[in-house]
Amino acid sequence: MLPQERRILLPLDLRPVKTLEEYKALGGLLGLERARALSPPQVIDVVKQSGLRGRGGAGFPTGVKWQTLYDDPSTTKYVVCNAAEGEPGTYKDRYLLGKNPYRVLEGMLIAAHAMNATAAVIGIKKKFIHPVQRLSGAIAELEEAGLAAPGFLEIVLGPDDYLFGEEKALLEVIDGNDAMPRNFPPFFVGIRATPTERNPTLVNNVETMSHLPAIFAKGPQWFCSMGTRDTPGTVMITLSGDVQRPGIYELPAGLTLRELLYDVGGGPAGDQPFKAVFSGVSNAVILPKIFDTPLDFGSMRRAGAGLGSAGFIVYDASHCMVKIALMFSAFLAESSCGQCVPCKRGCRIITEHLDALEHGRGSQENVNDIFYESGHCTDQTRCFLPQQESTLTTSIMHSFPEDFKRHAQGQGCLGGREPILPKIEYFDEGAGRFIYEQRPIVILSRP
């Protein structure tokens, strides 16, 4: 274990926890016992005191979300755990589920107690076969031990769509529909709603839920003793790309990106310096000049970037940023579900302009048009996806004007490597490397 690592969510020796008995021997289930001895408002108070922030991407304060749900007068409520994990460059949820499915389920039972929930559902991609198997086995053991009523913990399998992870789409999938975000947020209209019951639903990410058992077993002050005031606790970080030691690391929030890239990641993998880092595809590009920013939600936001789901994709100077922008833009355009015209149209047009620039058919006009479309693809849309397209693309263009100028003047790039969309399929722990989904960049063309 590297000196920077602090394993709370992960087993200390990284060996998967195989049985409920083994989990109990390691201190598991104590948090649930303590939470169940408290009233729901007391449980919510502990979560607020811990300062826990959601690890699904936005860093929303978990206690505040729980209080909103609790205050809703509806008599039927649900708890949903988001295990869709579709963000490029992120693998931490599957890693956690593979190592210890009991922890996230214990967290879901704590949340269900606080919400007096009718059921707790985990939504996960059907293709995540190993985590699904681990969850099924663990649920059976929890039922057998009398810790969860039969059928109370449910698994719902979903499609391999990026949008499945968007919470309003996640609820649609759990309700048996396609991964297309609905209008209302989960805290207002939840799963299995009827004309008379809205069923407000609490949605939290796998890692967020996984923090709860230790917060209740060891106390919120203990949790606040790690990380920063802004983001207490540890953060599961996926580090991929041009670093010597890619991997999944549990680290206290507040470590700087420089420490992550050099001390944890071992520095650049080749002989080129780092050029750009992306925290998934949801935030602005991170440049070396802000590498000393602490990795917490507030600091990253103030630095003009974002922590996201802490999946850092690293590119060295051998990459051309026009290619990278095209790759991410094409992914987002392809992921748009098409319900909102500005998103469907705008994301596609931005990708087409980038494609023209990349393949020598572009000019300054394409660059100008991308800026224009980025300001409009977000008009009255249901979810955050087009905002991602807009933020990510324009931030790359502002940060690397030289790369874009060369392409706009028909000079091509200075030997940019072909990038791989880092949609992680699997982490080969022995070899310390990620296996990516092999898929070509699809450019949606005008209908």
State the residues that interact with ligand SF4 by CB under 6 A. Answer: 163, 181, 336-340, 343-344, 381-383, 385-386
Q: Whose CA is closest to 128, among 89, 159, 164? A: 159
Question: Which residues face 141 on adjacent strands?
Answer: none
The DSSP annotation for 227-272 comes to: B-SSSBSEEEEEEEESBSS-EEEEEETT-BHHIIIIIIT-SBSSSS
Alpha-carbon distance of 251 to 235, in angstroms, equals 5
Alpha-carbon distance of 239 to 312, in angstroms, equals 5
CB of 164 to ligand FMN, least distance (A): 7
Q: Which of 36, 60, 221, 439 binds ligand FMN (CB under 6 A)?
A: 60
Residue labelled with tokens 């190993």 = 130
Between residues 343 and 397, which has the closer beta carbon with respect to ligand FMN?
A: 343
Q: Which of 85, 106, 316, 373 binds ligand FMN (CB under 6 A)?
A: 85
CB of 248 to ligand FMN, least distance (A): 15
Q: How many CA atoms lie within 13 A of 157 on its CB side?
A: 10
Between residues 59 and 386, which has the closer beta carbon with respect to ligand SF4?
A: 386
Alpha-carbon distance of 340 to 346, in angstroms, equals 10
C-alpha distances in angstroms, 390 versus 65, 214, 362, 384? 27, 38, 19, 10
C-alpha distances in angstroms, 212 versus 34, 53, 273, 334? 11, 11, 39, 35
Q: How many CA atoms lie within 13 A of 78 on its CB side?
A: 27
**Assigned token pair, 256:** 């700087």
Our finding on whether 56 is near ligand FMN (CB under 6 A) is yes
CB of 261 to ligand FMN, least distance (A): 24
CB of 85 to ligand FMN, least distance (A): 5
Our finding on whether 167 is near ligand FMN (CB under 6 A) is yes
CB of 173 to ligand FMN, least distance (A): 12
60 binds, among ligand SF4, ligand FMN, none (CB under 5 to 8 A by kind): ligand FMN
Exposed e or buried b per residue across 308-334, where buried means at least 16 C-beta atoms within 10 angstroms of its C-beta: bbbbbbbbbbbbbbbbbbbbbbbbbbb
Q: Are 282 and 388 in contact (CB under 8 A)?
A: yes
Between residues 75 and 183, which has the closer beta carbon with respect to ligand SF4?
A: 183
Our finding on whether 281 is near ligand FMN (CB under 6 A) is no
Pick the piece of the chain touching ligand FMN (CB under 6 A) from 199-207, 238-246, 298-306, 401-409: 199-207
Our finding on whether 84 is near ligand FMN (CB under 6 A) is yes
CB of 382 to ligand SF4, least distance (A): 4
Q: What is the DSSP letter of 177?
A: S
Our finding on whether 89 is near ligand FMN (CB under 6 A) is no
Which residue type does 354 have? Answer: L
CB of 261 to ligand SF4, least distance (A): 32
340 binds, among ligand FMN, ligand SF4, none (CB under 5 to 8 A by kind): ligand SF4
Between residues 84 and 138, which has the closer beta carbon with respect to ligand FMN?
A: 84
Between residues 204 and 394, which has the closer beta carbon with respect to ligand FMN?
A: 204
Between residues 94 and 113, which has the closer beta carbon with respect to ligand FMN?
A: 94
Alpha-carbon distance of 252 to 265, in angstroms, equals 15
Pick the piece of the chain touching ligand FMN (CB under 6 A) from 203-211, 229-237, 339-347, 406-414: 203-211
Residues 349 to 408: which contact ligand FMN by CB under 6 A?
383-385
CB of 446 to ligand SF4, least distance (A): 17
CB of 89 to ligand FMN, least distance (A): 12
User: What are the phi and psi torsion angles at 300 (to 5°)?
Assistant: -65, -40
CB of 404 to ligand FMN, least distance (A): 26
**Assigned token pair, 239:** 């580090």
Query: What is the SS3 assignment for 322-377?
Result: HHHHHHHHHHHHHHCCCCCHHHHHHHHHHHHHHHHHHCCCCCHHHHHHHHHHHCCC
Q: Which of 50, 82, 231, 394 binds ligand FMN (CB under 6 A)?
A: 82
Our finding on whether 123 is near ligand FMN (CB under 6 A) is no
Pick the piece of the chain touching ligand FMN (CB under 6 A) from 95-103, 200-208, 239-247, 315-323: 200-208
Our finding on whether 198 is near ligand FMN (CB under 6 A) is no
Binding site for ligand FMN (CB under 6 A): 54-58, 60, 82, 84-87, 162-163, 165-167, 203-205, 208, 383-385
